[in-house]
Structure 1
Amino acid sequence: MKKILVITLTVLAIMSFKGIDLVGNEFKIVGTVSSDFNGQKVFLAKSINDDVMSKLDSTIVKNGKFTFNGVADKPEQRLIYFEEKLMDGQIAIYAEKGNITINVNAEDIPKSVVGGTLNNNALAKLNVMLIEVGEKEEAFKNEHMDNFSKAKSEGDTETQNRIIQEYSKLTKENNKNYIAFIEENPNSLICAELFPVILKDQDVKAKDLKPIYDKMGPAPKATEMGQKVETYLNQMLANEKAMEATEVGKTAPDFSAATPNGKTLSLNQAKGKVTIIDFWASWCGPCRKENPNVVAMYNELHDKGLNIIGVSLDKDDAKWKGAIEKDNLTWQHISNLQGWDEPIAVQYGVTSIPATVILDKNGVIVARNLRGEELKAKVKELLAE
């Protein structure tokens, strides 16, 4: 969507507009604008991408008004712009059954106010919130960005982290407002568009968001974005459950897969006094870069009880075996050769590699995702017990 519209007090008058009776899926757009616009050509268009619009209809401003009529089988985002004011921006609306009103802000066209139908009224409500969000973020930027840049140039990580944490609080506050909007406007298509914004917060949990999504009406769920959000939330839920089942303190669930020579090897068969489950792949640059450190640690500590079982996210059998040989990875390896669909990675909630899961002598998970000296120190500590 282009620039979001900003609501003003005039929305009260607009939302009380009764219009004329329409039949079927007809819509009528009535715009009110300054008489200075009389004679100007107005276009109804759809966005192809951020730089291209496709014209659908046009009309002329007369006596400070313009009108479009059409049929909408389903609500769709549309743009309205004035030929002589194209560079000043567009007005975003939903073309949908009913009487749609636009009060054009002649001084700032994208700040015009729309209303009259379910989705356009919801859009107007949302813009009240978006203005507040924008003002808060601008104030935060003015207050902190210079200090953040200075701290970054001076290597002051304490100040950087403090500012990042404060911004995170602001993001979470905004997300609470977005969620409240979804709950209050469950049938508006724009609800589905808010989920990607909320999901930018890395701390957000699908177990909290999925019930919010489930309460939405069928219309927003049926949109392309609604379908994408549902798929993503379901994937997140599965990953969260996997992470809970394999968090620190839990006994590592067993698994098995084929070794490079075609035999089947399980985790229980590969355990040592200390066991590292190493998720990697031949195509993973950071994994291959880390391998020499792991090789050195394994050569030093294997005789003292360290075992490693490599779980590869490769798809190509030859490349997997070639990387094992080239990097001198002499510990045990398994893979289902299914890439990111590797069942063991899914079972352990692994969404990025390299990833490690460290087990003690009892097969209990004691740490995850340690690398380098930190990993070696933890292994030595466990071996000494």
Structure 2
Amino acid sequence: MKKTIIPVLMLLPLIGAAQKSYTITGKINGLNEPAKVYLVTMQSNQFKDTDSSTFVNGAFQFNGSVTEPQQAALRLKRVNTPETKYRPDMFDFFLENSQISVTAKDSIKYASVNGSVADREYRDLEAIASLMRKTIARIQDEFGKKNNAGVSVYPLEIRKSAGESVQKTVEELRKIRLMFATSHPQSFMGLFTFNEVLDQKFVPTEMESLFNNFSAELKSSPLGKKTLERINIAKRAQTGIKATDFTQNDLNGKPFTLSSLRGKYVLVDFWASWCAPCRAENPNVIKAYNELKGKNFEIVGVSLDYPGSKEAWAAAVKSDGLPWIQVSDLKGWKNEVALTYGINSVPQNLLIDPQGMIIGKNLRGEALTEKLKQLIK
């Protein structure tokens, strides 16, 4: 597969349309009742109806402009047929400033689109990704089978081997996306795909070097600025650099500042009372704390609990028996410390040395104590 797929991807157009506005013309054949089409775009981080068009002889049209290509949708609403709440008649595509044509029969759900370079590149790449995701799903469905008693059909070694196959497929898909991104330095979809790779674990300095290969226009675009911001945030959590200081209130409402522990090893533990994996991990953290607390070591728990959930946070600290420092601004995923360090899943942690340098991250499991012992000399 790789020998034929990659060259095809690299032949895709590098430069999108240069015009400053879009025109979407559509035709739905066989639609025999009055209807309207709505253009749905992202507004204030939510998809909302942006414009609407009434059918004239089965045709519709939209005109406008966008600052850069973006994900959008066309939603068909029949006047005489109630719209299903969870299954609306919609078609997703990439909107850009170009002449875009949409054709469909009876329903817009399975429409075809022409004229959007970003959309065509996305669909070509997505065709490959879809095949690989199906492979992953097939392996998981087969080797995850259980009998009526709830016991796995396949022995542990075979399941482990299947898991390794899944991981290899996931990594291969990541490589394909990255190759597409780096071979399209002047393509919006190249930058968009580059951002998808950033959702995986990545080395910030390496990705910053690749990002710099994109055109100046793309780097200065809204998506380009967001991309660089993500890379810079990731830098703050990488080992070998100085930890960014922060101040948040503890459970008693008193401000705590990370740098007040300078001179000690500090494990900054990101968690939440609502996070089951975090609560399951707490016994391992307690064990590490009890064995190392007399060796110039401290833990700071940063809770990603939500507004109005201080009591739940306090109850979890008490129930789990967490004796270390606890802080939070009760903003959930918008916790200022989590945003500073690019935390988008929990549990996660950072180990900081007495000089304030990050020397480890995501140390967990039964081996947490041993890993900490190796790092804390």
TM-score category (smaller protein): 0.5 to 0.7
Distance change (3 Å), C-alpha of 1:56 and 1:317:
same
Distance change (3 Å), C-alpha of 1:323 and 1:55:
same
1:355 is matched with 348
Quote the RMSD (CA, aligned, Å).
Answer: 5.4
Distance change (3 Å), C-alpha of 1:198 and 1:362:
closer
2:298 is matched with 307
Q: How big is the shift at 1:351?
A: 2.1
Residues 166-315 of structure 1 mapped to structure 2, 5 A cutoff: 166-175=172-181, 180-182=186-188, 199-201=195-197, 202-203=199-200, 215=217, 234=226, 237-271=228-262, 273-314=264-305, 315=307
Aligned identity (percent) is: 24
1:57 is matched with 55
Distance (whole Å) between structure 1 residues aligned to residue 173 and residue 364 of structure 2: 29
| 163, 168, 174: which one aligns with 1:162 | 168
Distance change (3 Å), C-alpha of 1:237 and 1:352:
farther
Distance (whole Å) between structure 2 residues aligned to residue 131 and residue 328 of structure 1: 51
Distance (whole Å) between structure 2 residues aligned to residue 336 and residue 28 of structure 1: 45
Point out where structure 1 has 5 or more consecutive residues left out of the alignment.
1-24, 61-67, 81-88, 115-120, 183-190
Distance (whole Å) between structure 2 residues aligned to residue 317 and residue 144 of structure 1: 40
Paired residues in the alignment total: 310
Q: How big is the shift at 1:377?
A: 1.4
Q: How big is the shift at 1:357?
A: 0.7
2:367 is matched with 374
Letter in structure 2 aligned against 1:269: S
Distance change (3 Å), C-alpha of 1:241 and 1:41:
same
1:329 is matched with 322
SS of the equivalent of 2:270 reads strand
* Higher alpha-carbon deviation: 165-174 or 68-77: 68-77
1:26-81 deviation digits (Å, cap 9, x = unpaired): x99798x9xxx9xx9799852689xxxx9932538xxxxxxx5878567997699x
SS of the equivalent of 2:233 reads helix
2:80 is matched with none
Distance (whole Å) between structure 1 residues aligned to residue 90 and residue 347 of structure 2: 46
| 338, 346, 351: which one aligns with 2:331 | 338
Q: How big is the shift at 1:172?
A: 2.9
Distance (whole Å) between structure 2 residues aligned to residue 348 and residue 302 of structure 1: 25
Distance change (3 Å), C-alpha of 1:179 and 1:79:
farther
1:244-264 deviation digits (Å, cap 9, x = unpaired): 134201122332222223333
Letter in structure 1 aligned against 2:311: A
* Higher alpha-carbon deviation: 372-381 or 147-156: 147-156
Distance (whole Å) between structure 1 residues aligned to residue 90 and residue 235 of structure 2: 47
Distance (whole Å) between structure 2 residues aligned to residue 100 and residue 361 of structure 1: 59
Distance (whole Å) between structure 2 residues aligned to residue 358 and residue 317 of structure 1: 26
Q: How big is the shift at 1:215?
A: 3.4
Q: Is the 8 A contact 1:78 1:92 kept in 2?
A: yes
Distance change (3 Å), C-alpha of 1:265 and 1:151:
same
Point out where structure 2 has 5 or more consecutive residues left out of the alignment.
1-20, 41-51, 67-71, 77-88, 145-153
Q: How big is the shift at 1:132?
A: 5.1
Distance change (3 Å), C-alpha of 1:173 and 1:270:
closer
Q: Is the 8 A contact 2:25 2:100 kept in 1?
A: yes
TM-score (norm 2): 0.58
Q: How big is the shift at 1:308?
A: 0.9
SS of the equivalent of 1:304 reads coil
Distance (whole Å) between structure 2 residues aligned to residue 302 and residue 137 of structure 1: 48
1 or 2, which has the higher helix percentage?
A: 1
1:98-122 deviation digits (Å, cap 9, x = unpaired): 99989999xxxx79786xxxxxx4x
Distance change (3 Å), C-alpha of 1:58 and 1:195:
farther
Distance (whole Å) between structure 2 residues aligned to residue 28 and residue 267 of structure 1: 53
Distance (whole Å) between structure 2 residues aligned to residue 256 and residue 28 of structure 1: 50
Distance change (3 Å), C-alpha of 1:364 and 1:79:
closer
1:186-210 deviation digits (Å, cap 9, x = unpaired): xxxxx7xx97666433358896779
Distance (whole Å) between structure 2 residues aligned to residue 306 and residue 209 of structure 1: 38
Q: Is the 8 A contact 1:272 1:307 kept in 2?
A: no
Q: Is the 8 A contact 1:79 1:93 kept in 2?
A: no
Q: How big is the shift at 1:355?
A: 1.5
